[in-house]
Amino acid sequence: MGDHWTTIESDPGVFSELLERMGVKGVQMEELWSLDEDSLHSLKPIYGLIFLFKWQKEEDGRPVAADFEEKGVFFASQVINNACATQAIVNVLMNRPELDIGAELAQLRDFTSGFPPEMKGLAIGNSECIRSVHNSFSPPQPIVPEERDDEKGEAFHFIAYLPVTGALYELDGLKPGPIKLADCSEDDWLPKAAAAITERMGRYAASEVKFNLMACIEDRRQKYRREVAQQQHLQERIRAKLGNSAPPAPPADAAAGAGAAEVPLPDDPDTLAARLAESEGEVDRLQAALAMEEERRRQWADENIRRRTDYIPFAFQLLSALAEAGQLQPLVERAKEAHAAKLEERRRQQQQGSS
């Protein structure tokens, strides 16, 4: 099977760049802080939800969907360590035919068509492209630490929720197959998925607070650019009607909303002028949102560079230079004194609080 897979950080900036480097276009990951209707609506279109939680052994009597292969559900078992996050995302992408998932994933989906879940998992584990992109977010480590999920040795797990052919599924790579949660449509699957995730969090609430939820969504930059182009086309139509000139041709570029039905415009000039002003304000809002998203992407890129950087040689050279200059030991002594002072202050506050 594939070579070693490292643990990577659960972060939308990491997973969004991971998607891009695997060849996926027009998709990003976004962290969710709430499952309320407004929060979910603001991120639409949502292609799937990825739920991270601290794994604990429990009995699950829910049956696996017996007809999932006939329904066209792509499901890969998790057969490699440390890859459950990437695999959960891949499970979402493979079940979304409307997405441009790139040549590598498209070829993998075609190649594994008809394979059982275990073989699909092995195929993902043996994908050099997926493994190398996944591992690229871990810095080179001259001192290899013992493998564990965190300092307590806790295991964390990712599962996916998404609709496929009229049903909502839970895709957990540690289960023998997908679990059908409910019948649904593209319009109503999110509230049902939110209810399932909320119920799961409730079961763990007494002993566990470590949860993370991300949504697989359309690239915000692509969405904002498309909506700006649509508003600009609307403004051209309004100005043409106000000037009694021929309307502009419908946009031919999909990024500008090609193929979308054009809403009829009113005849009243005052109403048209109001609509024009409203559209100009919307363009300003969208361009500001686009600029913020572009800045966030630059921040993600900087953070990911730092994640890949091995700072141990720098720290070693710095300490060596300080020692040669005779400055290291005084700094150590000052740090010890500062630490002792903090401990003494904490002890004094505790005594005052108990008196």
The domain limits of the chain are 12-218, 222-308, 312-354
Q: Which CATH superfamily is 12-218 part of?
A: Peptidase C12, ubiquitin carboxyl-terminal hydrolase (3.40.532.10)
What is the C-alpha R_g of the chain?
A: 26
pLDDT at position 189 is: 96
Q: The whole model's pTM is what?
A: 0.81
181: amino acid identity, one letter: L
Query: What are the 10-residue block averages of pLDDT along the chain, 355 residues in total?
Result: 74 93 96 92 95 78 88 91 86 96 95 93 92 82 52 72 96 93 95 93 71 93 96 95 89 64 89 96 97 96 86 85 90 92 88 70
C-alpha to C-alpha distances, 177 to 66, 81, 158, 197, 200, nearest whole angstrom: 8, 18, 15, 18, 18
Choose among 51, 55, 50: nearest CA to 204: 55
Query: First and final CA of the chain: distance in angstroms?
Result: 63
Q: What amino acid positions are annotated as catalytic residues?
A: 84, 157
